[in-house]
Amino acid sequence: MKRREFIKTSVAITATAGISGLPLLSSGGVDPVSKVTGESPYGITKKGVELIGGMKKFISKQDIVMIKPNIGWNRKVEHAANTNPEVLKAVIEMAFDAGAKKVIVMDNSCHKSEDTYRRSGIKEAVEKSGAEIRFSDENRLVVHPFNGEKLKKWPVFRDHLEVDKFINVPILKHHSSSGLTIGMKNLYGILGGRRGKLHRNMGENIADLANGFKTDLTIVDAYRILTKNGPVGGRLSDVELKKTVICSKNIFEADVVAVDLFGKNIDEIPFIDAGFRRGMGQKDISKINIKTFVI
Amino acid sequence: MISKYPKKKLTRIFFQVVFLVVFFWLLIRTGAAATETFKYSDYFFYFDPLLLIINLFSTHTIINLFLLSLIPLALTMVFGRFFCGWVCPMGTIHHFFSWLFRRGEKKAEEVEHKLMKLKYVILTLILIMALFGTNIGGWLDPFSILTRSTSIAVSPSANYLIEETFKEGAEESGIIAKGLKPAYEFSKKNILPNKPRKYLQSVFIGIIFFLLIAANFYKRRFFCNYLCPLGALYGLFSRFSLLNLDVDKGSCKKCNVCSSDCTYNGSPYQDYMKSECMVCYNCEDSCPPDSINTKFRFPVKGSVNKIDLGRRRITGSLISGIFFASLPRIAGTSKSRTHNFERPPGSVSEVDFLDRCIRCGECMQACPTNFIQPALFEAGIDGLWTPILEPLTGYCEYECNRCTLVCPTNAIETLSLEDKKNFKIGIAVVVKDRCYTYADGYNCAVCEEHCPVPDKAIRFREVDVWNFEGKLVKVKQIYVVPDLCIGCGICENVCPRADAPGIVNSAEEEQREFDY
């Protein structure tokens, strides 16, 4: 057994032990989750990333960075169906400040992408920040192995595989079939093909998806949240102001903290349970290292 | 053989190119999905007197903007068929191909006198049928043909070929693709849709357009000279025009040079046919002894050959027009109670719709989601190429009213965005044999997620279902709220079922009137 393989195996064993509840170092204890509340979406995003070590911790010089927001729906920012452009602006700025060579923003929209990109305000914000906004092009799909329990492989836009770093910037909102959509569910946007098929056993599929695809940083936009009729929404009375951003390297734990913020019970959300069984992190919020901050 | 600088001819070509560019610019702009401030893009139609008359006959109303078409009609009384020679983009395209197919050749072609009369017969037929309530003018109107062929066949085809050339991996093998990549990226950003359009009738419409172009091999500007009803209409008026062609018999050497380049395949020096002349100035500019000149004067009786249809042809086309007009009406296909197609939002009642629609395809070009498709026979035989909605290819975007803005004849009436959001084009119906939540007993809800109505026209109810494993499980079954559903079709479009959707949209409960 080579040294590298040995390390791999021992890490795997440790991780398995972590899942089975042994008080070992599971990934949960390692990566802190920041939870910052404040008036400005831009400000809380910057503070949130700073609290978990700053963008330089996640992005190296000359990196090509993919930012994956939720630009799924042809709705305005006040409908809380898409990621807040102000949050994105902060993320793009921080990525460039950390030395990124190129920043790409891209999603596979549910509504017509030309419309969603524009109406969400994201196109304008991204172009102003000097990043590249890109449509998902079906010619660029490649079958990616997720090797999960349910999700074995699925076509993915290769743009997401060809970058150095991947930053996931979901919005926290209600989702009728998966319970909530946060970081893990947001990764649906890297997929092409007939994604609706994945709604059968959705929780398992989401967990496989998030487990089989490496994300470097997750920034949950919970400035405005959609409390009902998600993911598409459209009724202002369903929108609630939480003025919070949650950041973590660990996508699963960011989601757990977001579920708590939303006010739902962890056990109500199938993909949290599925992710926990796959050893993606702690689902007991008291075991997560949360750094709360109010501006 | 050009003896002098063809000044007038070049001016004519300049105008042709300008109008062609404007036409396509407007059309591409109509189709470019990224235009937020969307305005009318169909001005060319308003300058088409044929449509004015047809729609007057079939609907007994005049859309004010169409009065603009009296301008070219009045100008025809002065300049002859200048519209065909100088303005019409369809004509320009045929002109170009006629030239292309004959490069280097200088051969006089014979006028097809009999065939020439065909367009007048067509015009009579169309007008008579319109008068008796069947509007098929759009099938042959040059603007309709060009707009339809471009939006349904030519531009999607170009888009497809471009995508095939530049798609991932292709640029590594092709030098051209590599070199033109920046141009591709520019057009992808500005003109090309993110997802290439698909049209179910593209083959049919594309082949017809191809044949029309190919006919220019046989005769110059075949469509314009022998088929175009608008050309025929202008021909009728141009007889009285003030611009006349004079041949100086003394200096004419009968060299036949003018005949070798005549747009209507005639021989201007011996049989000047005023109703066919498109004022292209080829003869005047090419005549070696300068014997051919145009002059403004009142036409002298008997000085020009005119087309004489003959009583039999006129009576024949009148009677057959009446007969043909009645056939689709009694076929009961288009105007019966049962129908399973939806019309675009803002569409008027079906009877009026068929009377007004000119099958131009502007709405299909404007629809950003590729939802509007030309019908084959879904809407009856006289509903050929009228817009119907096809959830297989698209859905009605909630925040969009573009199709209602572009219809030149108000078959689709203009709706504000707020009105459009409430316009019921139909309703969704759950197909319980196929919907996963009913048939297989597991949660799916893709349709519910996509339903754009803020109060949710698709909802859940939790019920016990015997699932596909034979177990009794709790399933969130979907159901439609008829009062809220507007029939936008996104539920059917996104239904993950691959064979046939588990939820379908139909015109049931549509807002507009259908039967009469």
Question: pTM of this prediction?
Answer: 0.87
CB contact under 8 A, B498 and A177: no
| A73-100 residue pLDDT tens | 999 999 999 999 999 999 999 999 999 9
Q: Mean of the pLDDT values across residues A215-237?
A: 92
Question: What CATH number labels B424-516?
Answer: 3.30.70.20
Which among A68, A49, A51, A69 is positioned nearest to A59, based on CA atoms?
A49
Per residue, the 3-state secondary structure of A67-94, as one string, reads: EEECCCCCCCHHHCCCCCHHHHHHHHHH
Token pair of B52, please?
């004015």
| A59-80 residue pLDDT tens | 999 999 999 999 999 999 999 9
Q: Mean of the pLDDT values across residues B11-30?
A: 91
Buried b (16+ CB within 10 A) or exposed e, B299-308: eeeeebbebe
Q: What is the pLDDT of residue B114?
A: 84
Instruction: Identify all chain B residues contacting A75, using CB atoms and an 8 Å cutoff.
Output: 399
Give a yes or no: residue A133 inside a domain. Answer: yes
CB contact under 8 A, A199 and B443: yes
Q: What is the pLDDT of residue B244?
A: 84
CB contact under 8 A, A199 and B452: no
Instruction: Identify all chain A residues contacting B450, using CB atoms and an 8 Å cutoff.
Output: 110, 232
Coil vs helix vs strand at B477: strand
- Beta-carbon neighbour count of residue B17 at 10 Å? 13
Burial tier of B2 (Cβ tally within 10 Å: 0-12, 13-18, 19+): exposed
Instruction: Identify all chain B residues contacting A74, using CB atoms and an 8 Å cutoff.
Output: 397-399, 452
- Annotated domain spans of chain B: 42-296, 424-516
Q: Which helix (H) or strand (E) holds B471?
A: none
Q: Which of A113, A177, A234 sits opposite B452 (nearest CB)?
A: A234
CB contact under 8 A, A112 and B369: yes
CB contact under 8 A, A119 and B494: no
Q: Which of A115, A139, A158 sits opposite B163 (nearest CB)?
A: A139
Q: How many domains does chain A have?
A: 1
Q: What's the rounded Cα separation, in Å, for the pair A105 and A123?
A: 9
Chain A residue nearest residue B193, CA to CA: A114
- Confidence check: pLDDT of B198 > 50: yes
- Is the alpha carbon torsion for B265, B266, B269, B273 positive or negative? negative
| Single-letter code of the amino acid located at A213 | F
CA distances from A280 to A4, A283, B478 (A): 22, 9, 32
A269: domain range? 25-294
Q: Which helix (H) or strand (E) holds A175?
A: strand A171-175
Which residues does A182 contact at the CB level (< 8 Å), separation at least 6?
A170, A172, A220, A254, A255, A258, A259
**What residues of B are in the A interface, CB distance below 8 Å?**
33-34, 36, 163, 167-168, 193-195, 368-369, 397-400, 436, 442-446, 448-456, 460, 476, 494-496, 498
CB contact under 8 A, A234 and B460: no
The crossing angle, in degrees rounded to 10, of helices A270-277 and A202-211 is: 50
Give a yes or no: residue A4 inside a domain. Answer: no
Token pair of B204, please?
């049919």
- Confidence check: pLDDT of B69 > 60: yes
Higher pLDDT among residues A230 and B516, named by residue:
A230
Token pair of A53, please?
């070590």
Token pair of A79, please?
């409908």
Give a yes or no: residue A149 inside a domain. Answer: yes
CA distances from A203 to A206, A216, A232, B465 (A): 5, 22, 19, 20
In eight-state DSSP terms, residue A163 is S
CATH number of A289's domain: 3.40.50.11440
CB contact under 8 A, B444 and A229: no
Chain B residue nearest residue A200, CA to CA: B444
Q: What is the pLDDT of residue B174?
A: 65
- Is the alpha carbon torsion for A107, A111, A112, A118 positive or negative? negative
- Confidence check: pLDDT of A180 > 90: yes
**What residues of A are in the B interface, CB distance below 8 Å?**
74-75, 110-115, 118-119, 135-140, 158, 175-177, 194-197, 199-202, 229-235
Q: How many CB pairs under 8 A join A and B?
A: 86
Give a yes or no: residue A219 inside a domain. Answer: yes
- Confidence check: pLDDT of A25 > 60: no
Give phi and psi for A261, each to the nearest 5. Answer: -65, -40
Instruction: Identify all chain A residues contacting B436, using CB atoms and an 8 Å cutoff.
Output: 200
| B307-356 residue pLDDT tens | 677 788 888 888 888 888 888 777 765 455 556 788 999 999 888 888 89
Give a yes or no: residue A15 inside a domain. Answer: no
Token pair of B313, please?
């042809």
Give a yes or no: residue A14 inside a domain. Answer: no
Q: Do A220 and A88 meet the contact criterion of CB atoms below 8 Å apart?
A: no
Which among A261, A189, A250, A254 is positioned nearest to A225, based on CA atoms?
A261
Q: What's the rounded Cα separation, in Å, for the pair B149 and B206?
A: 6
Give a yes or no: residue A1 inside a domain. Answer: no
Which among B302, B293, B291 is positioned nearest to B249, based on CA atoms?
B291
Which residues does A45 contact at the CB level (< 8 Å), separation at least 6?
A36, A86, A87, A90, A91, A94, A219, A221, A245, A247
Which residues does A284 contact at the CB level (< 8 Å), separation at least 6?
none
Coil vs helix vs strand at A272: helix
CB contact under 8 A, A114 and B449: no
Task: Name the H helices within A130-182.
Answer: none
Cα of B209 to nearest chain A Cα, Å: 29
Q: Do B356 and B135 meet the contact criterion of CB atoms below 8 Å apart?
A: yes
Higher pLDDT among residues B248 and A2, named by residue:
B248
What mean pLDDT is reported for chain B?
86
Coil vs helix vs strand at A33: strand
Q: What is the pLDDT of residue A144?
A: 94
CB contact under 8 A, B454 and A229: yes
Token pair of B184, please?
């591709």
Q: What is the pLDDT of residue B6?
A: 78
Chain B residue nearest residue A115, CA to CA: B34
Give a yes or no: residue A200 inside a domain. Answer: yes
CB contact under 8 A, B443 and A112: no
